[in-house]
Each structure stands twice: as structure tokens, then as C-alpha cells.
Structure 1
Amino acid sequence: MSVAPAPVRPPAQPVGGRLSLAQPGARGMKIAATGLLLVMATVFLVARAYEHVWPWLSYVKSFAEAAMVGGLADWFAVTALFRHPLGLPIPHTAIIPRNKDRIGQALATFLKENFLIPPVVARRMRNIDIAGAVGRFLQAPEGQETRIRQGASRLLADLFESLDDERLGGLVKTALSNRIQKMEVSPLIGRALASAINEDRHVPMLEAAIRWMARALDANESLIRDMVHKRASWVLKIVSLDTKLADSIVEGLRKLTVEMSTDPGHPVRQKVEHALADLANDLQTNAETRAKVEAMKNELIANQSVGQWIDAMWQNARLSLIKATRNPDAALAGKLGEVLRSMGQSLEKDERLHDAINQFARRAVSGMANSYGSSIVKLVSETVRAWDAKTVTDRLEGAVGRDLQYIRINGTLVGGLVGLILHVLDKL
């Protein structure tokens, strides 16, 4: 049985891909620094060769000699930061590769002690006006709302689409059902009915009921006559009194509906209004009536058809909301835009609300720093520890390359000046 060899894993790369930190012109500055060192070496050799012919070249030789020493010393120092000079394992060289993990830990500790301690975060947050910034953002004038319309609308739409529809819908329906179950609807219905009666808003409903009765009577006239005929005795049928009785009943009911619709003071109509007033009072004060209404409400909520109706209503609301948020031009249109702008004005002008939001933001950020600061520090240190030493060294050297080569150039020139000054003092 043969076992396939394990794949060779490539060296770990810095998180996020290649570190693009290289300064432009770093390679050119390195060539310039090295070229300057070679020039000093050439000048030294030429000055040393012709010093006996022109004695003043001793000054040039001293400058070039000291410049070579300074340039070589700085080259050694700069190179020792990142690698072994000339590949020789000289002690205390290749400092960054050897101390990569310690540097990562130091960086993480610095980050925590200067940015992620709750008192430090709270002190820095005192100078940040979160409420004012949000208020100005919400009051963006017409034509400057692109970020809100395109960014916030897409975010809301993606949020609603990413949520589990079944769970969210069940949550909404459960919350709605629980809210209705906890709310006693009988007094609400009673007060609404009493208000309608006191303001005569029940009159159109009562007249509509009377007209419905008249239409129902016309539609079921044959049924009434048939019922009278079946229930009448054979004596009445012999003398045809059942037909006359049916005519009287139908005409009496028709006359009643006409009189009720035309006479607001009709006795039957008055009794109906008194009954409605009593019902409104019982719904608010009668314990037995209120218990019956609550029982009916609970049975209605438990009905499967009502659950399906709530589910359909939720689906329609969800789809409408997603459609609206997908349209950036409508994100701040109409009432929603007015509400957001009003909120922005309140955030800027209401000092108590302004201070409360800023205080809440400070506490929230400080709490996050307290809760997750250690995790962030651990993430930084472990990320740096996982980086490949050579890659990190190359990138860091590229990031500060120009400045490092300037150090070499300055070391060469300063060393030369020091050597020249010492030679002059020696001559004097």
C-alpha cells in the first residue's frame, strides 16, 4: 500500500497577500550610496598615489579615507538590521529576522497600551463628536446623499435578504401574537365604539346595515314565502290565507326597513343605538363581557387561517421593504427622508440627546476595547509570528530603503568631514 507524499507547503506569507510597502526610488538610492563609497575609494587611491607630487592631496586622502570608514560602518549597521553582512554569521546581526516574534509582541503590546485600554479609548473619544457627525450626515442637502442612498440602501437590502426568512418570519409572527395576547382588546373596542357613537360616526354604518337588510329581504322573498307556506296549517292553505300572511310579513319587513332608513327617531333604530351604547359600556366595565371578548380573541389568534394571513402580510412587507431599499433614489425619498433629516437636526440641536449619544458611543467603544482588546493583541502577535522572515525583511527594507540609504550617504560625507578636520588639526 503506497502513501502519497504530503504536499510541500509554501512559506507563510503576510496576511492579506504581499506587503506593498516599498518606497519609490529605494533601489536607485542604494546604487547611489554604494557608488559614493566606490568614488571615495577611488579618490583615496588616486590621492595616495600622487600625494608625493602634490602635498595638498593629503587633505583629499584624509577626507576620502575617513569617508570610506564612515560609509562602510553605516553600510554594516544598515545591513545588520536585516541580514548577515556578506553572509557571515556575525553576532548581533540580522536583527529583524531573529527578533521577528519579539517585534510582533512589542507591536501588539504598544497597540494595546496606547490604543486599546478603556481609559485611553475614552479619553480619545472625548474629542470625537459622533452625534454631530451623524447629524450632519443625515442632513446632507439634495444631491449630496449619494453615499446614504447607495451605501445604506444596499446594506439594508443585503441585510434583509441574508436573514433566515423562516426564522425571522416566525420571530415576527410570534412577537406580534404575543403582543396581541398580552393586550386586552375589549376596552379598546369599547372606547372606539363609544367615541364613534358620541361623534355620530356610527350612523353611516347603521344605515348601511339597514340597506343591507332591505337588499337581503328582496333577495330572499321567495324563501320567506316558502317558509310561511310550509309552516301554515292545512286550514289556512284551503282558504289561501297562507299567501296573504306571507304578503303581510314581507310588506311589513319592507316597510320597517324603509321607515328605519328615513326616520332617525324610529323606535327600532333607537333600540339598536341604545344596544350599541350598552355594548360599548359593557366592553369597558363588564367583566363577563370582557372575558368573552378575550376568549374570542385567543381563539382567533390560534386559528390557522389567521396565522396564514399574518404570514402573508409579513412576506408582502418584507418584499416591499427589500424592493424599496434596492432603489437608491428612494432611500431618502418622501417621509423616510423627512424623518432622517429631522433626526439629523435633533442630533445637532438637542444638547441632551447629543451628549447622551456621544456618551453611549464612548462607553460602547471602551467596552469593546475592554472585551476584545486582548484578542486583537493576540491576533497581531500571532499574525506577525506566522509571517515568513525573509519576506517580511525584504518588505520592511523596501519600506524604509530610501531613508536607510540616506544614512549611508550621510555617514560617508560626515565621516569624510571628520577625517578632514582631524587631519587639519594634526597639521596645525
Structure 2
Amino acid sequence: MNAPTSQPAPAIVKFQVVQSGARGMKLIATGLLVVMAITFFTARAYEPVYPALGWIKAFAEAAMVGGLADWFAVTALFRHPLGLPIPHTAIIPTNKDRIGDTLANFIRDNFLVPQVVARRMHRLDLAGAAGRFLKAPRGQESRIRAGASRLIADLAESLGDERLGGIVKSATARRLKEMQVAPLIGRALAQAINEDRHLPLLEAAIRWLARTLDANESMIREMVRERVSWVLRLASLDEKLADAILDGLRKLAVDMESDMGHPVRARIEQELAKLANDLQTDAATRAKVERWKEQLIENESVGLWLDGLWQQARAAIIKGARNPDAVMAGELGKVIADAGHTLESDVRLKAAINQFARRAVVGMAASYGGSMVKLVSDTIRNWDARTITDRLEAAVGRDLQYIRINGTLVGGMVGMAIHALDVIGL
């Protein structure tokens, strides 16, 4: 089995192609200069025999001058011409650091100014673009859903279970401690009373009272017998007293269940209404409930319960995210699509998101613009002089060689113009 051949990176391939194109244009420009030199010497040799060759000699002579001048100028940008250390040549390698600083300052002064960034960001609709992306065309929503699911699963698995569980438990406990539960309970109880939703609970409590009496009849009789005097026991009146108490409690339970206006029932409802009010307004009652809440939160059993909830939630998240097509396909896809529709249709939400993004980017430009341009200058400083020279020459080499070609041709035409002036005696 043959080993797979390594493929060059796209950026390297592109650089090689550009470099090859620049090298071809360099050969053309140099070849044209050589042709002009041959033409000049040939015309010079045959000019005495054919005087008309003076025009060609003038063209070729001036073309050589123009071509050589432009060759020198182009070469001096990147290296010393012919390897000679002529002053003010090899401009780019010699001034690499200064060029990097100048480029960095140019970027900072023209692109990372907060006003410029804000003006540019004002024209961008990031929320709308995000909405259109989330409302992916049919066939793409599965890829978005799968990517989101993998991200959620990887995030849940990468975070330490023990540490993250402790963070979740601590955050939940802290949030519960900061929350004033007494007013919440009071408002909930008051609303339940106003809507008569407490009646099923009250009737269930009355029925529970009746069942408790029946289940504990022997215990009640024994309590009565122990507390009456020996005289009543001797006369067997303790049994009659116990029967009277049990019959009275049973009758009370039946009457309370059947009579909505029973005085005891009304008293219970009054106390419930008072409790709802005290939970919202009475400082002592609220403080007592908050103390009970803190004691409950600090209980070890509650901590274990919170741990169990976290473990179950984490396992469910990972399981669902790892198999989005089976578990979360419809729901997650619908949520993503709905989010996209909302971002596109809700004008206020879109404006708020765009404003937040604009302020965030402007703030980053103001706070970190200096660091960004320093990265540019430091990167250029760390580049090898040959590397930056080769890259810049490859990037603009074709255009520079066109300058040489144009210089050769323009020089030739100027030479012919000067020869024409000489012929007519000006």
C-alpha cells in the first residue's frame, strides 16, 4: 500500500504560482532589453550604408537607457543591483522594520479609529446576517444542528465534572440564598386564595384528618383513659368520654367538608390569608422564613439532591447532543430556525443586537487597537529580510516588470522624437 503523498498548502501553491508569473514577466522585460541592445549595435554598424537606420538606432539607444534606468529602479527596491552596495538600494530589506512600523501606524490611524469603526459598523446588519444563517436552506440545517450539538457535548464533557458540579451547586445555593422566598410564597398563596385554588388542598387536609382519627382511635382512647381520674375509670366513664371526643371530631370533619361556610373552615381561610399577607409585609415572619430557607440549603441532604440534579442534567445534555438526529433533531432544529426568524423579523431585537455588536467592536478598537498594530509591526520585524523581499517581489513583480517594459518602449519613442528634432535642425 503506497503512503499518501503530502499536498502543499494552498497558500504556498498560490505563492509559487504568483512567483512563477513574476519570473516570466522578468524574463520578457530582460529579453526586450537584450533585443534593444542587439538592435542598437546592428543599426550602428549598418548606419553608414543605410542612413535610415539612424531612426532605429535612436529608438534602440534611448530604449536601452530607459530600460536600464527602470531595471535599476526596480532592482534597487529589493536588492543591491549587481551586488554592489550602492547607497539607497535594497530599500525594502534595509528598511524592513521601519516599513512595518509605518504600515502598523497607517492601519491604526486609518482603520482602527473608533469613529471609523463605528461608521463602518453602522452599515452592517450583523443580526440580520446571523438570522439568515440560522434560517439555513433545506439540507443545511442538519449540518448547523450537528455542529451546535457537537459543540454543546464537547463543552459539557471538557469541563471537569467535579469542579463544574461544584460551581453549579455553589451558584445555585448562592442564588437561592440571595432570593427573598417569603414574598414569593406570600404572593403565590394570596393568588391561590383569590382564585380558590387552595380549596382542594384544604378539603384534602380535612379528609386526611378524618382518616387519621380512624387510624389512631385506639391511641386516642388510651390517652383519654390515662388522663381521667380513677373515679371515672371505676365508673367506666372514660370509654364514654373517649366515644364523645371521637364522635365530635368525626362530626367536625364531616361538617367542615360538607359546609363551605363552616366557622372553623372560615377561620382556617382567615389564617391562611393573614399568613399570605405577613409573608409579604411582616418583617419578623419574612426573617423567620429566610432562616428556615438557609438552614434547608445548608442541609447535607439538599446538597446531595442538588448534586444529583446536576449529574442527571449533564448526562441528559451529553446524551442528547451526541445523538442530535435521534433526540434533538426536531427540537434543536426548530429552535435554531425560530431564532433565525426572530432575528430577521424582530426590529427591536435586531437593533439591540447590532448596537451591542457595534459598541463591542468600537470598544475593542479603542482598547486593543494599539496591541493589534503592534502585532503587525512585531510580525514584520520577526520576518527574515529575504522572506519579506521574496513575498513582496512575488506580489508586485509582474507590475514592476511591466514598468521596465513600458520604460523601454517609452524611452525608445523619446529617442526617436529627439532624433527627429535633430534631423529637422531644431
Give the alignment's TM-score, normalised by structure 1.
0.77
CA distance in structure 2 between the partners assigned to 1:359 and 1:303 by the alignment: 46
- Among 286, 294, 310, the alignment partner of 1:298 is 294
| C-alpha deviation, 1:97, in angstroms | 0.9
Structure 2 residue 388 is the aligned partner of structure 1 residue 392 = yes
1:68-110 C-alpha deviation (Å, 9 max, x unpaired): 2322222222222111222222222211111111111111111
Aligned to 1:118: 114
Given candidates 197, 200, 203, the residue that maps to 1:207 is 203
CA contact (8 A) 1:63 1:417 kept: yes
Give the drift of 1:386. Answer: 0.8
Q: How many residues align?
A: 409
CA 1:420–1:337: 2 relative to 1, 3 Å: closer
Higher mean alpha-carbon deviation, 97-106 vs 365-374, is at 365-374
Rounded Cα–Cα distance in structure 1 between residues aligned with 2:136 and 2:202: 52
CA contact (8 A) 2:113 2:365 kept: yes
| C-alpha contact 2:135 2:337 (8 A) present in aligned 1 | no
- For the 8 Å contact 1:20–1:395, the answer to whether it is kept is no
Higher helix share: 2
Q: Per-residue deviation at 1:341?
A: 2.9
Q: Supply the RMSD in Å over aligned alpha carbons.
A: 4.0
Pair 1:283–1:47, CA change in 2 (3 A) = closer
Q: Larger deviation: 66-75 or 253-262? A: 253-262
Check whether the contact 2:133–2:340 (CA below 8 A) recurs between aligned residues. Answer: no
Aligned to 1:341: 341
- Alpha carbons of structure 1 residues 330 and 26: separation in structure 2 relative to 1, 3 Å: farther
Q: 2: CA distance between counterparts of 1:199 and 1:359?
A: 44
Identity %: 66
Alignment of 1:15-414 (within 5 A): 21=15, 23=18, 25-134=21-130, 136-137=132-133, 145=141, 149=145, 154-155=150-151, 158-159=154-155, 161-162=157-158, 169-213=165-209, 216=212, 261=257, 264=260, 269-321=265-317, 327=324, 329=329, 332-334=332-334, 337-338=337-338, 341-346=341-346, 348=347, 350=348, 357-414=353-410
Report if the CA contact (8 A) 1:149-1:330 is conserved. Answer: no
**Is the CA contact 2:37–2:60 (under 8 Å) kept in the aligned structure 1?**
yes
Deviation string, structure 1 residues 117-158 (Cα, Å, up to 9, x no partner)? 223323333333445545555666766656854555555555
Deviations 1:286-332 (A, max 9, x none): 54433332221221122122223233334444454555566484575
Superposed CA offset, 1:43-70 (max 9, x none): 3333334334433333323322332232
Say which is worse superposed, 31-40 or 399-408, in terms of deviation.
31-40
Question: Which consecutive unaligned segments of at least 5 residues does structure 1 have?
Answer: 1-16
Q: Is 1:104–1:385's contact at 8 Å kept on the other side of the alignment?
A: yes
Mapped contact 1:111–1:377 kept (Cα < 8 A): yes
**Greater shift after overlay, 392-401 or 221-230?**
221-230
CA distance in 2, matches of 1:40, 1:266: 123
| Cα distance between partner residues in 1 of 2:404 and 2:320 | 63
SS at match of 2:188: helix
Contact 2:344 2:350 in 1 (8 A): no
Task: Report which stretch shifted further, 100-109 or 214-223.
Answer: 214-223
Alpha-carbon displacement from aligned partner over 1:326-366 (angstroms, at most 9, x marks no partner):
648457544675455334422x3x3xx65555444443323
Describe the superposition over 1:148-194 as per-residue Cα deviations: whole angstroms up to 9, x where unpaired.
54555555555555556556555544444344334433333233223
Deviations 1:381-402 (A, max 9, x none): 1111111111211121111121
Q: Structure 2-normalised TM-score?
A: 0.77
1:172 and 1:120, CA in 2 relative to 1: closer, same or farther beyond 3 A? same
How much does 1:115 deviate?
Answer: 0.9
- Counterpart contact for 1:83–1:95, Cα < 8 Å: yes
Could you tell me which amino acid in structure 2 is paired with residue 379 of structure 1?
L
Structure 1 Cα separation of the partners of residues 375 and 251 of structure 2:
89
